[in-house]
Amino acid sequence: MRESLEIAFSCAYLHGSGEYPEIYHIDDVHFIRPVDIGSIIRYSSYVTYVHERIVNVNVAVEKVVKGAESKKFTRVFELNINFLMNQNVKKVIPQTYKDAMFYLEGKRRVDRLLAGH
């Protein structure tokens, strides 16, 4: 979990204008499979949506499937976190279908967050 938060922080920082993001809201953590001790894992993080000063980041964690002939990964958990920046941040413009799905999911999460406050 700590490493996932660190990579999300780094992703938001790099997308922003060189300022440190502040954790605003941890939206969802989905644990899908257990991670065995000694497993090799891979982290992927994406800025999915930006609304003014709020940056939504999705982190996916996958582990190497043991015994697979070719390198295969299986998703073990996913984290969605919103950061608050000091100033407005550049918008995300989806380039692919996958990017558009991440964008819509991030927008839905930020809209739900803003409606609750």
pLDDT tens for 37-86 read 887 888 899 999 999 999 999 998 888 876 656 666 777 788 899 999 99
Structure-model confidence comparison of residues 95 and 62, the more confident one: 95
Domain limits at 23? 2-116
pTM: 0.84
Q: What's the confidence (pLDDT) of residue 117?
A: 60
Torsion of Cα atoms, 93 then 97 then 99 then 103, to 10°: 70
The per-residue pLDDT of the chain, averaged, comes to 86
Distance CA(87)–CA(24), nearest Å, equals: 14
Give how many domains the chain has, as a whole number. 1
What angle is formed at CA 54 by the lines to CA 52 and CA 56, rounded to 5 degrees?
A: 125
Cα–Cα nearest to 64, from 41, 84, 86: 41
98 Cα distance to chain centroid: 14
CATH of the domain at 7: 3.10.129.10
Q: What's the confidence (pLDDT) of residue 65?
A: 73
Structure-model confidence comparison of residues 37 and 111, the more confident one: 111
